[in-house]
Amino acid sequence: ETGVTQTPRHLVMGMTNKKSLKCEQHLGHNAMYWYKQSAKKPLELMFVYNFKEQTENNSVPSRFSPECPNSSHLFLHLHTLQPEDSALYLCASSQVASGTDTQYFGPGTRLTVL
């Protein structure tokens, strides 16, 4: 497996469910990111982890809870979501401060909240 992988690719959940999105990067990078992509809106950066430490939380509601157990894995735990949280959730990774900071993206998880 190469690059950045995400599972599941599609997820439908009710507002009372609890689910988790998983991201894994095989690039040896030190930073991982969660983005939200909604229709007709710019990509929204949600969370950033650098060496497993959270360095960015862009005022994301607490119903989204990230977890980074090591530099290769990133989770997004979801609970009591709202229909407006339906979107494509993208994971990315990069090697920050290497002089060639480039983010590489996974294929995304299409989330639908009923």
Partner 1 sequence: AQSVTQPDIHITVSEGASLELRCNYSYGATPYLFWYVQSPGQGLQLLLKYFSGDTLVQGIKGFEAEFKRSQSSFNLRKPSVHWSDAAEYFCAVGSSGTYKYIFGTGTRLKVLA
Per CB under 8 A, the list member of 31, 81, 87, 113 interacting with partner 1 is 31
> Does 42 interact with partner 1 (rule: CB under 8 A)?
yes
- Least distance from C-beta 18 to partner 1, angstroms? 25
CB of 43 to partner 1, least distance (A): 4
Q: DSSP assignment, residue 85?
A: G
Q: Does 99 bind partner 1 (CB under 8 A)?
A: yes
User: For 36-74, b where at least 16 C-beta lie within 10 A, e where not — what string?
Assistant: beeeeeeeeebbbbbebeeeeeeebeeebebebeebbeb
Which residue type does 101 have?
A: D
- Which residue from 1, 2, 28, 40 is in contact with partner 1, where contact means CB under 8 A? 40
Q: Could you say which of 78, 90, 111, 113 contacts partner 1 (CB under 8 A)? A: 90
Contact 63, 78 (CB under 8 A): yes
Of the two residues 30 and 80, which places its CB atom closer to partner 1 in the complex? 30
Distances (CA, A) of 4 to 41, 70, 76: 23, 15, 15
Residue numbers at the binding site for partner 1 (CB under 8 A): 4, 6, 31, 33, 40-43, 45, 48, 50, 55-56, 90, 92, 96-97, 99-108, 110
